[in-house]
Amino acid sequence: MSYFADLPAAQFEGPDSRNPLAYRYYQPDRLVLGKPMVEHLRPSVCYWHSFCWPGSDVFGGGTFNRPWLGLPDTLESARLKADEAFTFFQKTGMPYFAFHDVDAVSLGTSLREGWSNLDAIADYFAEKMSQTGLKLLWGTANLFSHPRYQAGGATNPDPNVFAYAAGQVRAMLDVTHRLGGGNYVLWGGREGYDTLLNTDMRQELDQLGRFLNLVVEHKHKIGFKGTILIEPKPCEPTKHQYDFDSATVHAFLANYGLLGEVKLNIEVNHATLAGHSFEHEIAYALGHNLLGSVDLNRGDPQNGWDTDQFPADLQETTLVLYRLLQAGGLETGGFNFDAKVRRQSIDAVDMLHGHVGGLDLLARALLNAEQMVLDGQLAAFVADRYSGWNSTFGADILSGKLSLSAIADAATTGPAPQPVSGRQEMLENLVQRFV
């Protein structure tokens, strides 16, 4: 009998429901600005936190008594874990999932053994997906957990480790393609440094740039139609990671000829670790046509590290969804719940509480954002604030028609410009009406 057998399948019951395992706002088929809610959100359960993390931390061992944890590293064990995972996916009602290669199966002691095991579990995933209708939002390879990657994968000083990492990524990209995945993600958990005393930064960046180009070349070779994504994070586990934030990755992509080929998977907790808000990272990515997908979670400001908690900030999520709706929404990406229950949340039902609450908050934020778009006041205020740049003078400045001297001379005619209020308090009050 499944570990999750006693859990109900989460259903929509409406805003007045007192059932903590029911959706109050998430209705997959509800139209939001003419598009089904599920297509706006494309929600996904992550395999790693939900089915691989044992509830351990740096001060203590695992607290979770999950039947698939601690089993021998065999294909049979991997299939048993997959059975439990797909049962849980269906309980949440989410249509997508995401996974690393090592989440799904042991990669053994050699590349060839890893390829064989991954192919076998991919076949099993394909069967489960056919039976349930579930889809793969994205796949990724773990290039940070094994000791061989202590100094990185793509950025490792040893080209043989670079090659091993390439072998893992090729296999996982092939599997993602086979399973119809919408995206392929690269998170550089060890692609950075702990000290500059032993680091040639330019060498490592060149290696990383070459690695990404190789991935893109292979994508086109196999005909993968999904999006290649980089997930920014400033630090942890390394002192400094080369994919620090959206702006840093933007510069990296431009420098290595990857603009138009690689986009971003933005994570909330990574944004705050970089000293930014979630909204800031989304706004930057949208402004440069770089947003591909989102990992939805949150951190704890009193801890200061990547706690990967389920989302709880309705206003922040509403503002992000508002920006997404204005920009036309996501394409191949979605909202992946890269979150884990707390170490003391040891029951099966706790996993369902986390996912139901997270998705319901996301759905409520989408409905709030829809009303903000229809209301139009916030967009109108911003448009009016920058309206001077739509004048002939403003347009000529931005187009390069005017020199610095010509612009300076124009400033001498007419009265001196006067400050205009930014109305921050009014706008904050306006947002509160929708939240």
List the pLDDT tens digit at each of the 435 positions of the chain: 899 999 999 999 999 999 999 999 999 999 999 999 999 999 999 999 999 999 999 999 999 999 999 899 999 999 999 999 999 999 999 999 999 999 999 999 999 999 999 999 999 999 999 999 999 999 999 999 999 999 999 999 999 999 999 999 999 999 999 999 999 999 999 999 999 999 999 999 999 999 999 999 999 999 999 999 999 999 999 999 999 999 999 999 999 999 999 999 999 999 999 999 999 999 999 999 999 999 999 999 898 889 999 999 999 999 999 999 999 999 999 999 999 999 999 999 999 999 999 999 999 999 999 999 999 999 999 999 999 999 999 999 999 999 999 999 999 998 999 999 999 999 999 999 999
C-beta separation of 150 from 193 below 8 A: no
Residues 135-146 as b/e (b if ≥16 CB within 10 A, e otherwise) read: bbbbbbbbbbeb
Give the per-residue pLDDT at 304.
85
Q: What is the CA radius of gyration of the chain?
A: 23
Give the per-residue pLDDT at 4.
98
How many Cβ atoms from other residues are within 10 Å of residue 92's Cβ? Answer: 24
- What does the block give as tokens for 95? 């249509």
Own/partner contacts of 111-118, CB < 8 Å, gap of 24 or more, are 111/164, 111/167, 111/168, 114/167, 114/168, 114/171, 115/167, 115/171, 117/75, 117/78, 118/171, 118/172, 118/175
Residue written as token pair 């021998």:
72
Q: Any idea what DSSP says for residue 192?
A: E
Counting Cα atoms < 13 Å in the Cβ hemisphere of 91 gives: 23
pTM: 0.97
DSSP string, 23-38: BSS--TT-EETTEEHH
Give the per-residue pLDDT at 15.
97
- What does the block give as tokens for 203? 């060498």
Question: CA of 427: how far to CAs of 3, 278, 423, 424, in Å?
Answer: 48, 19, 6, 5
Give the per-residue pLDDT at 187.
96
Collapsing DSSP states into helix, strand and coil, what is residue 307? coil
C-beta separation of 171 from 217 below 8 A: no
Residues 358-386 as b/e (b if ≥16 CB within 10 A, e otherwise) read: bbbbbbbbbbbbbebbeeeebeeeeeeee
Residues 29 and 14: their CA atoms lie apart, in Å, by 14
Residues 284 and 280: their CA atoms lie apart, in Å, by 6
Give the per-residue pLDDT at 228.
98
Give the per-residue pLDDT at 270.
97
Phi, psi dihedral angles at 62 (to 5 degrees): -65, 145
Task: List, in sequence order, the alpha helices (H) in 265-411.
Answer: 268-273, 278-287, 314-327, 348-375, 377-385, 392-399, 404-410
Question: CA of 143: how far to CAs of 8, 35, 78, 139, 149, in Å?
Answer: 36, 37, 20, 13, 6
Active-site residue list: 100, 103
Amino acid present at 274: A
Amino acid present at 425: E
